[in-house]
Amino acid sequence: MSRDRPTRRTVLRTGAGAVLAGLAGCTGGDADTDSTPTSDPGAGSPGAADTSDADPPETDSGETETEADADGGAYTVTMAPVGEITFESVPETWVANNGSWADMGVALGLEPPKGVWLTSRYHTHYYDGIDGVSADTSGMVDLYQGGVDTELFYELDADVHVIDPTFLMNRFDGWEEDDVAEVATGVGPFVGNSIFSRGYGWHEDYRYYTLYEAFEKLAAVFDRRDRYEAFASLHDEFQARVADVIPPADERPEVAILWPDPVDAPESFSPYLIDEGTSFKQWRDLGVVDALAETDVKDFHSTRGSIDYETLLQVDPDVVLLRGEEAKTEREFEDTVLSHMRDHDVASELTAVENGAVYRGGPLYQGPITNLVLTERAAGQVYGVEEELFDRDRVSAIVAGQS
């Protein structure tokens, strides 16, 4: 592909120096190349190319942004780790790191991103119960194809890349600073944060954002703060309703969140201890008791280890939540995974299996809409809540810009 064109098509502008200055101190040391991609490589999964998410420190002092002028003038958005990015006009096309950001785009009423890390990890069926809300992934490109090629970014030719470039430089044997600078100046700027995980060595001294802090930043990028504010208000009300259905601490079941291997008929599991990442937001908000937290079992991110049924039986959690199962319906999950565990010599002895309390444990990525759906589902799984906890019609109205 020819690169004989202006450094940017006057839509938006960022300098390589600004990008690299913003990334100073965020790279190097831990390339994290220990993963050999499986048939479904992706963030956070065992043997894959990516991760999970969290409630970070207070907003950095001086971290501000100005929205676009009414006449379409330039504006600035600041997000760690890249720093300050100036937009000469509102972006129209974009690339997202994962389903967390893609879902934020749906909430803001944007066109879908041209690409995400893995389209298979962006579970759009969560929108099925919300009239007027959907996302078409048929035209999306997988950014990760055994690696991430800079040429793909030229082909996609997006106005902005909602991807933390330190993720590209550290998560696998991938990009260098020169690659980031080349794409930022030759195609479009990077603005994003690895909100989904805190488990890697390159995360030291890393400034994280909560789900809604990140959502607010994306709203600033696309100058759609009205929808963000409407969702933030809805979320506050939702949190109050969630708090009302949480039982007393001594009545809450102990849960274990695991990644099964293989996913249809598991024989071992990668343990996920509940942390501050956004992929655990529903479990934190529901105040569930982590059955693994007070054991010798170490989190997958720190050891890349796994446990077998014998170890799990020693813990014997009340509820087992399995990740990597979101492509299955509830019935499909029961007919494959739960059926296998019921027939297994050791697994069948687990309290959770005996009681049928083995469920899909939620995806690695979630945004404002999917978080509502997943939290409501989780409340039913662990606490038996049957009522709807959020207003679907109101979500539809916000997405349509009618809030």
Identify any residues that bridge with 258 across adjacent strands, giving them in sequence order: 271, 322
- 21-30, 157-166, 284-293, 336-345: range with lowest mean pLDDT: 21-30
Task: Return the half-sphere exposure (C-beta side, CA atoms, 13 A cut-off) of residue 30.
Answer: 14
Report pLDDT for 30: 35
Measured in Å, how far apart are the chain's first and last C-alpha atoms?
43
**Mean pLDDT for the chain overall:** 85
CB count within 10 Å of CB 348 equals 13
Kind of pairing between the strands at 319-322 and 307-308: unpaired
Q: Quick one: tokens of 225?
A: 């703060």
Q: What is the pLDDT of residues 295-347, one digit of tens each?
A: 999 878 777 789 999 999 999 999 999 999 999 999 999 999 999 999 999 99
Q: How confident is the model at residue 34 (pLDDT cuts 50, 70, 90)?
A: very low
What's the CA gap between 286 and 376, in Å, rounded? 10
Q: Where are the domains of the chain?
A: 16-236, 246-399
> Which fold, 16-236?
Rossmann fold (3.40.50)
Per the CB < 8 A criterion, the answer to whether 307 and 297 are in contact is yes
Fold matches, 16-236 and 246-399: yes
Q: How confident is the model at residue 45 (pLDDT cuts 50, 70, 90)?
A: low
Q: What is the pLDDT of residues 92-150, one digit of tens each?
A: 999 999 999 999 999 999 999 999 999 999 999 999 999 999 999 999 999 999 889 99
Give the residue among 192, 4, 170, 10 at the shortest CA–CA distance from 92. 10
Domain 246-399 in this protein, CATH class: alpha beta
Mean pLDDT of 355-382: 97
In eight-state DSSP terms, residue 111 is: P
Per the CB < 8 A criterion, the answer to whether 279 and 362 are in contact is yes
What's the CA gap between 289 and 143, in Å, rounded? 36
Q: Quick one: tokens of 263?
A: 């996913």
Report pLDDT for 304: 76
Q: What is the pLDDT of residues 62-73, one digit of tens each?
A: 354 554 454 568
Report pLDDT for 51: 31
More confident residue, 15 or 232: 232
Per the CB < 8 A criterion, the answer to whether 115 and 149 are in contact is no
Identify any residues that bridge with 161 across adjacent strands, giving them in sequence order: 95, 190
What's the CA gap between 68 and 223, in Å, rounded? 6
Q: How confident is the model at residue 256 (pLDDT cuts 50, 70, 90)?
A: very high
Q: Quick one: tokens of 18?
A: 């600004």
